[in-house]
Structure 1
Amino acid sequence: MPATYTYTKTIQEPIPSGFGSETTAAEALGSRDLSGKIAIVTGGYSGLGLETARTLAEAGATVIVPARTPDKARAAVAGIPRVELETMDLMDPASIDAFAERFLATGRPLDILVNSAGIMAVPLTRDARGYESHFAVNHLGHFQLTARLWPALKQAGDARVVAVSSRALRLSGVDLADLNYENREYDKWLAYGQSKTANVLFAVELDRIGSAHGVRAFAVHPGTIITELSRHLSDDEMRAAGALDEQGRRTAHDKSRGFKTVEQGAATSVWCAANEQLGGRGGVYCEDVDIAAMAAPGSDPFGGGVVQWAVDPDIARRLWTVSENMTGVTFE
């Protein structure tokens, strides 16, 4: 029988956790044994998602990795224990439904869902419904996936959902009147920022709804890491970011700009997914393996902390309703 929960909104301020920006994913897990736990990690065959999947699996969890390119995924996860590969495309609603149906048919509970897949700074592209691609993949795809997996999350009785966001949320709030750039000029960074803000607002409202069922939600900023997420950026853009070395290779070589390794970048996702320090908490934005503080108005847009528009419960509820209407799915 699942435990009975009373919803409490976790205060948006550091615990403090005792961890930091150089903590690795394995360290962030603590001594937690995940034997018998079931996890799904989107994007779990590349970059931060792969390291997240690896860490959870090596701690004993069975990890399902849905992939748009199964052959690539199979090579990436080779050698990692207890990994199951599935097919899914976050840009395709039918593919999301089919994946969720296959998982639910197994009758297993879902203890951990890490929504890590995403796209960044791509040219204006729309899905078959006409939705802008950043918003469609980074937010709506994961919204639909979580909704379809809702029975399994509730069945676990003590589940966690992690939405991988980004400090880019400070570039843009959500424009509920024009989410798909139909009436304003498209900007790839503002579109990305809008989708990352949506990730945090999703976690805020999901936690409010899910707490009564033992489902807690978190949003995370992993840090600045060079992964395939940057594949749409030009060499000039990478050079300006300090991410092009002397040989012209894309690598994080300017440590003064706060670059992290992949192991460090996955740490906050793993901490939110499984560390017992967060027991009874949720609905917060985390960075550097701790709950982030609120950013002061007018502070450095590339600095730490989270802005009010990303954790506003009223905006979160409004976005939730819009997302239900856009996807045609609900959590009932």
Structure 2
Amino acid sequence: MTVSEPFGIDSTAGEVLAGVDLTGKVAIVTGGYSGLGLPTTLALAAAGAQVVVPARRPGAAREALGDVAGVEVEELDLADLDSVHRFADRFVASGRGIDILIANAGIMAAPETRVGKGWESQFATNHLGHYALVNRLWPAIASGAGARVVVVASGIGESPSIRWDDVHFEQGYDKWGAYGQSKSANVLFAAELDRRARDAGVRAFSINPGYILTPLQRHLSKDEMVGAGWIDEDGVALLPEFRAPEQGAATQTWVATSPALAGEGGGYYQACALVKTFEGPEEVEAAERLWTLSAELTGLDTVGKPA
């Protein structure tokens, strides 16, 4: 289905929520205190949602969000499964349902780092942490009426690829290759999550926010970004594709809330429009294979199953 609304690459998170009433809705936005997460959180809260912001640095999150009404900050480190379990267990024990979960937090082009059981940090943080979070929160996600899970990916989403013989880059680490794989995993995860969750009324989506300068580039030196043609020597963005964080947050906010997407799911979106679905045999096989691998690594596989 092709969805058409008057939003695009220049729209902001606030604009796509104009006139939308989210009173009574509960949203979780991982990393919702910096980068694209901050305008996402602010827009959802302004529309009336109660927004929970799980943060690796809760002190920084509270400072960034101040006293914004309707926002709660919790501690969560996606690279640490014990931390994921603690946060999810606290939330499920609260008895609240989840209407929106935006898997927004992530790292990019990180130096080689091993976490958990020797996992490559970008695959672990960007994908496995969110996979574990959704599975652990499944009772709360499935308890609502029509919950949506939005996974923030990147421009690699049209042709996702996994390095199946060495997903943790133990044989020759490449920071961009590892990042690209983690974003491919985001897209395939959303597609398979949607297939497994739709019978419970839960739909999942992946999105590409576009080119945005945010703290996501923290692992890149100024020289690298100048050399890539992203910025000039004064740090000013050069590429015409670059947008402000409020614009980069529009697609994930729109996908999470738009009535036009009722009954939809599984697709990959950018600039508030559907770009691709993943229904071909090879795509379905890759998504299923990633799910099986993720379940083996995390010990979690609860989506679509009775609580």
| TM-score, scaled to structure 1 | 0.87
**Residue in 1 that maps onto 2:169:** 181
Question: How many equivalent pairs are there?
Answer: 303
Separation of aligned partners in 1, 2:276 and 2:256: 20
Structure 2 counterparts to residues 303-318 of structure 1, below 5 A:
312-318=283-289
Residues 55-83 of structure 1 deviation map (CA, whole Å, 9 limit, x = unaligned): 10110000000111111111101142200
Using a 3 Å threshold, how does the CA distance of structure 1 residues 255 and 244 change in structure 2: closer, same or farther? closer
**Match of 2:5?**
17
* 1:90-169 map, 5 Å: 90-169=78-157
AA partner of residue 276 (structure 1):
P
Looking at structure 1, the residues matched to 264 and 156 of structure 2 have their Cα atoms a distance apart, in angstroms, of: 24
SS at match of 2:184: helix
- Quote how far apart the aligned CAs of 1:17 are: 2.8
Q: Secondary structure at the match of 2:114?
A: coil
State which drifts further: 169-178 or 32-41: 169-178
C-alpha displacement of 1:173:
0.8
In structure 1, what is the equivalent of residue 238 of structure 2?
254
- State the match for 2:251 in structure 1: 268
For 1:260 and 1:21, how far apart are their aligned partners in 2? 8
Cα contact 1:169–1:194 (8 A) shared by 2 = no
Pairwise CA RMSD: 1.9
3-state secondary structure, aligned to 1:47? coil
User: The residue matched to 1:27 in structure 2 has which SS?
Assistant: helix
> Equivalent residues in 2 for 1:1-332 (5 A)?
14-169=2-157, 173-182=161-170, 184-247=171-234, 249=235, 251=236, 253-256=237-240, 258-293=241-276, 312-331=283-302, 332=305
Q: Which residue number corresponds to residue 297 of structure 1?
A: none
CA distance in 2, matches of 1:240, 1:167: 20
Cα pair 2:157 2:268 within 8 Å, conserved: no
Contact 1:28 1:271 in 2 (8 A): yes
CA–CA separation in structure 1 for the residues paired with 2:238 and 2:67: 32
Deviation per residue, 1:190-233 (Å, 9 max, x gap):
10000001000001011011111110000000010000000111
What SS does the aligned partner of 1:66 have? Answer: strand
CA distance in structure 2 between the aligned counterparts of 1:170 and 1:132, rounded to whole angstroms: 23
**Contact 2:160 2:188 (C-alpha < 8 Å) held by counterparts:** no
SS at match of 2:223: helix
Aligned partner of 1:298 in structure 2 is none
Q: Is the 8 Å Cα contact of residues 226 and 233 (structure 2) preserved in structure 1? A: no
1:218–1:172 CA distance, 2 compared to 1 (3 A): closer
Q: Please, which runs of 5 or more residues in structure 1 have no aligned partner?
A: 1-10, 295-305
TM-score, L = length of structure 2: 0.94
Whether contact under 8 Å (1:42, 1:117) holds in the other structure is: yes
Deviation at 1:29, TM superposition (A): 2.4
Of structures 1 and 2, the one with the larger relative CO (CA 8 A, separation 6+) is 1
Q: Structure 2: how far apart are the matches of 1:45 and 1:168?
A: 25
Structure 2 portions without partners, runs of 5+: none
CA distance in 1, matches of 2:155, 2:227: 18
Is the contact made by 2:230 and 2:239 (CA closer than 8 Å) also made in structure 1?
A: no
State the Cα deviation string for residues 68-127 of structure 1 (Å, max 9, x = none).
111111110114220011111001100000000110111001000000000000111110
State the 1:157 CA deviation.
2.2
Q: How many Å apart are 1:168 and its aligned residue? A: 3.6
* Identity over aligned pairs, percent: 49
What amino acid maps onto 2:211 in structure 1? T
Deviations 1:37-63 (A, max 9, x none): 000000101110111111101100000
Tell me the SS of whatever aligns to 1:260.
Answer: coil
How far off its partner does 1:240 sit? 2.9
**3-state SS in 1 of match to 2:101:** strand
Shift of 1:170: 6.2
